A = this chain, B = another copy of it.
């Protein structure tokens, strides 16, 4: 009836990571235009200098700064106005001593010029221009390659493509990039009591839509293999069929140590179980296994437990396969109420954030049961109570891990 040994999350992660190290996701080349949300499988390097030439930061006159050494409001320098350069055009001029060329903001600086005087300090007098100030070399000049140098890395392997990355990557002359192909994921729910939608006497399988859409956020379109009853042969057949099509199988239910927990029994029979039972609450009856080359994440049936194990182990694993390094964006908040916790378990308490403008509070949601799906909906994230703590007193400033972000670093010891 009981688990032999519950692993700490750090131990569980070490075991899983060890299996993941041997896996390499295939890579595909895609148009950067359609790569939003994908994970880079290579460093993207700039093909060009940005800007590609020295250009003007203002509307003004391109000059040799040497020519203005003595210039001031009362002693303006007189330069010969030899032409204009508009933005987007190539300069046809090379400036010699005592000459100036009018330039637009963004226009390339003509040869020989090394600075730009803004229009406000210039008076145009027919073929001449009077300049009323000195300028330092490269004043108002944006240097070639100042934004991005040719060959510079503009996005690293494992980086998730965001709108501004697409813009920059196109801007540096790159149109195709290599990204990881999402792994093929199959979802199986087990439980004779489940129904895909509401039906009297049945329980709606809420895990399936939750997992399916959580995976969408990782660019994965998972295959739904439906609901399987608590019958040994049905569960076995489902797992065997899933294996043929999947890199990863995610199951819910049947993973505790009861008589009818067939998922875990079948995994023992046809696969290899790497771990079963983790010291987390909710989410204790979690198993990680392999059937052939297919990874199996066997989550508990309770919705919150399944969610916590998904965020902790499945999402982290998939991000690991993507070589992802999500940014570490810490949200700190003050606990509005004390949180009790059990020694020996890493506890995940759903909290709502409240920003008063002066202080940010984390308010634990009232209903904490592992079947209480609404506790996720009604919260912004979780506070983590480590294994060696009996809880946190009211007023503790603690970290909040958002539902909408990867739970980075949470699996390691000492993190909370």
* Residues in chain A within 8 A of chain B (CB atoms): 1, 32-33, 36, 47-48, 50-52, 57, 59, 87-90, 104, 106, 119, 142, 146-148, 154-155, 162-168, 170-173, 175, 191-194, 197-198, 200-204, 206-207, 209-214, 216-217, 258, 303, 307, 327-332, 353, 355, 360, 367, 369, 371-374, 376-377, 380, 402-404
Q: Are A170 and B204 in touch, CB under 8 angstroms? A: yes
Q: Are A330 and B369 in touch, CB under 8 angstroms? A: no
Chain B contacts of A162 at CB under 8 A?
213, 403-404
Chain B contacts of A146 at CB under 8 A?
367, 369, 372
Q: A122 to B11: give the CA distance in the assembly, Å.
A: 34
Q: Are B327 and A168 in touch, CB under 8 angstroms? A: no
Q: Are A213 and B1 in touch, CB under 8 angstroms? A: no
Q: Are B171 and A206 in touch, CB under 8 angstroms? A: yes
Q: Are B377 and A163 in touch, CB under 8 angstroms? A: no
Question: Closest 6 CB pairs between A and B?
Answer: A88-B193, A163-B213, A173-B198, A167-B210, A167-B206, A171-B206
29 A-B residue pairs with Cβ-Cβ distance under 8 Å, sorted by A, are A36-B216, A50-B373, A51-B203, A51-B371, A57-B369, A59-B258, A88-B201, A88-B202, A106-B371, A142-B371, A154-B374, A154-B377, A155-B377, A162-B404, A163-B210, A163-B212, A163-B216, A163-B217, A164-B376, A164-B403, A166-B210, A167-B303, A168-B377, A171-B198, A327-B353, A328-B355, A329-B331, A331-B331, A332-B360
Which residue in B90, B217, B330 is a CB contact (below 8 Å) of A360?
A: B330
Which residue in B147, B172, B203, B329 is a CB contact (below 8 Å) of A367?
A: B147
Q: A206 to B171: give the CA distance in the assembly, Å.
A: 6
Chain B contacts of A155 at CB under 8 A?
377
Which residue in B1, B47, B170 is a CB contact (below 8 Å) of A119?
A: B1
Q: A85 to B116: give the CA distance in the assembly, Å.
A: 86
Chain B contacts of A207 at CB under 8 A?
167
Chain B contacts of A36 at CB under 8 A?
213, 216
Known: A59-B258, A197-B175. A147 touches B374 (CB 8 A): yes
Q: Are A353 and B371 in touch, CB under 8 angstroms? A: no
Q: A360 to B200: give the CA distance in the assembly, Å.
A: 51
A52 to chain B, nearest CB (A): 8
Q: Are A171 and B88 in touch, CB under 8 angstroms? A: no
A327-B380, A329-B402, A332-B332 given; 15 more Cβ-contact pairs under 8 Å: A32-B209, A88-B191, A88-B201, A88-B202, A147-B367, A147-B373, A167-B206, A167-B303, A167-B373, A172-B198, A175-B198, A329-B331, A329-B355, A330-B331, A332-B360
Q: Are B377 and A170 in touch, CB under 8 angstroms? A: no
Q: Are B167 and A380 in touch, CB under 8 angstroms? A: no
A388 to chain B, nearest CB (A): 18
A54 to chain B, nearest CB (A): 13
Chain B contacts of A119 at CB under 8 A?
1
Chain B contacts of A59 at CB under 8 A?
258
